[in-house]
Amino acid sequence: MRRTVSILGLAAALVLGTLGFGTGQKSHAASAQEKMSMTEVKIDNFTFGPATLTVPAGTTVTWINKDDIPHTVVSTDDSKTFKSKVLDTDEKFSFTFSKAGTYPYFCSIHPKMTGKVVVQ
Amino acid sequence: MAGKVKDELLHDHNHDGIDRRGFLKCMAWAGTGALCVMQGGVMKSYSLSRLPELGGKEAMGELSFVQISDSHMGFNKPANPDVAGTLKAAVDKINGLAAAPEFMLHTGDISHLSKPEEFDTVDQILKSAKPQDVFYVPGEHDVLNDDGKQFLERYGKGRKGGGWHSFDKKGVHFVGLVNVMNLKAGGLGTLGHEQLEWLEDDVKHLKHSTPIVVFAHIPLWSVYPEWGWGTEDSAQALAYLKKFGSVTVLNGHIHQTMQKVEGNVTFHTAASTAFPQPAPGKADSPGPMKVPAEQLKSVLGITDVNYLQGQHALAVVDSTLA
């Protein structure tokens, strides 16, 4: 008797689970997509965090300045791929990396601050 | 400083009449507003208020000027929500000095975000300072967004490169250097080849006895490279100044007073009129340091510099705003 109930319960759970999992899968995929298209670098205490960010091609990376002093985000590669205006506290800068490669950058006001975006 | 220091000339290593220890001792008195003078090989100190007794400024060929720095007009975070107010307090301090300064040096970070209204506000506030002549060098906050075009338009019309320049006052040769342009990733302040060549040429024909004052934003000595507190190619600049008997280097950027004597060169950094920064390595980063509101003015300040013609040492006196 118990076993039957258990099996029934298991079957019910599976059915429910499949339904639920279906919905869940969709929203899971959606949020995963969000995660892939928006990635953040936090600027605080004269540091880019994370210092090295690895993303797939097509990602938009957003830098947000959480420090109490202004900073910039300026790429140091030969073609000067990106260059933000001055970011005061809470200001943001975004750039979409369409091509694979390594993109080192720094803060042009405080050149000791360096970071890197690796696009795969 | 080790050992007891007397007033007499003790160690005249450079045969230039300057006793480093005596000078440093006098600089330590500087907080009380002392003027240090070498007379006949003996370091004497006079309180600034006694200067009129010494025979009059003009008769002594005395030069007096003030250095202010890092006004960061536009900054409005908790470390100081009223940088205009503290700059005004600095002007009041300058106007209250016993020996009225002839001019001022501003060693940069005039503005916080290179905004026109920020520069305008500083100009407006400095209009009420007795010394109306001000010589500026830019800080990194003054050359944002436009590679320093606006700074040059306002304070350095016609000047070369980033605005380096020199001028003479009462026999003292002043050199304003720019070390905040074309900063390289991972690097420190930089003077660059063109400016160094200009400097070499600028001082080439000066007599060795000419006192030199160099002013630039980022320190020209290695205060704390981890925080970018240094200039990559300053050694080359200092090499061009090696022949001079008296070189005083005035910098800003680090928002605290610090000094170092190296041979014939005295390095000195000024306090900010806006907000203090931590001592090297004493915090995670060199950002604005919050202090209790009632203590703020005691960690901000101006630098008063006096020079008597014929003497070697320039007396560099720091005063806080409270």
Q: What is the number of alpha carbons within 13 Å of residue B99 lying toward its C-beta?
A: 33
pLDDT digits (tens, 9 = 90+) for A63-106: 999 999 999 999 998 888 999 999 999 999 999 999 999 999 99
Domain residue limits, chain B: 57-320
**Residue to test with chain B: of A69, A73, A102, A110, most B Cβ within 10 A:** A69
User: Residue B48: what pLDDT?
Assistant: 43
pLDDT-based confidence at A38, cuts 50/70/90?
A: low
* End-to-end alpha carbon distance in chain B: 28
User: Residue B291: what pLDDT?
Assistant: 96
Mean pLDDT of B235-257: 96
Cα–Cα distance between B67 and B63 in angstroms, integer? 13
**Residue to test with chain A: of B72, B80, B144, most A Cβ within 10 A:** B144
pLDDT-based confidence at B257, cuts 50/70/90?
A: very high
CB of A70 within 8 Å of a chain B CB? The answer is: yes
Highest mean pLDDT among A37-51, B285-299, B308-322: B285-299
User: Residue B215: what pLDDT?
Assistant: 97
Q: What are phi and psi of B312, to 5 degrees?
A: -85, -50
- State the amino acid at position B281 in one-letter form: G
User: Residue A14: what pLDDT?
Assistant: 52
**Token pair listed for B68:** 């202010």
A29-49 in b/e form (b: 16+ CB < 10 A) is eeeeeeeeeebebebbbbbbe
Look at residues B167, B264, B242, B183 and name the one whose alpha carbon lies nearest to residue B218. B183
CB of B157 within 8 Å of a chain A CB? The answer is: no
CB of A108 within 8 Å of a chain B CB? The answer is: yes
Domain residue limits, chain A: 37-119
Cα–Cα distance between B183 and B178 in angstroms, integer? 11
Determine the residue of chain A that is closest to B80 in CA distance: A68
Report, at the CATH architecture level, how domain A37-119 is classified: Sandwich (2.60)
Max Cα-Cα span within chain A: 75
CB contact under 8 A, B140 and A68: no
Residue from the list B113, B183, B284 with its beta carbon closest to the beta carbon of A108: B183
User: Considering only CB atoms, which chain B residues are within 8 Å of A104?
Assistant: 185
- Round the average pLDDT of chain B to a whole number and report it: 85
User: Considering only CB atoms, which chain B residues are within 8 Å of A69?
Assistant: 287-288
User: Residue A77: what pLDDT?
Assistant: 87
CB contact under 8 A, A114 and B287: no
User: Residue B162: what pLDDT?
Assistant: 84
**Residue to test with chain B: of A105, A109, A116, A117, most B Cβ within 10 A:** A109
- Contact of B230 with B210, CB cutoff 8 Å: no
**Token pair listed for B91:** 């002007």
pLDDT-based confidence at B98, cuts 50/70/90?
A: confident
**Token pair listed for B117:** 């209204």
Per the model's pLDDT, the better-predicted residue between B35 and B139 turns out to be B139
Mean pLDDT of B301-322: 86
pLDDT-based confidence at B267, cuts 50/70/90?
A: very high
User: Considering only CB atoms, which chain A residues are within 8 Å of B79?
Assistant: 68
pLDDT at A20 over 50: no
pLDDT at B179 over 50: yes
Per the model's pLDDT, the better-predicted residue between B212 and A24 turns out to be B212
CB contact under 8 A, B286 and A106: no
B window 79-98, beta carbon within 8 A of A: 79
How many A/B residue pairs have CB atoms within 8 Å? 57
CB of B145 within 8 Å of a chain A CB? The answer is: yes
Determine the residue of chain A that is closest to B277 in CA distance: A69
pTM: 0.80
Give A24-59 as a DSSP string: HHHHHHHHHHHHHHEEEEEEETTEEESSEEEE-TTE
CB of A3 within 8 Å of a chain B CB? The answer is: no
For domain B57-320, the CATH class is alpha beta
Mean pLDDT of B137-148: 94
Cα–Cα distance between B138 and A88 in angstroms, integer? 19
- Round the average pLDDT of chain A to a whole number and report it: 81
CB of A81 within 8 Å of a chain B CB? The answer is: no
pLDDT digits (tens, 9 = 90+) for B21-76: 554 444 444 333 344 444 433 444 554 444 444 444 443 457 899 999 999 999 99
pLDDT at B18 over 50: no
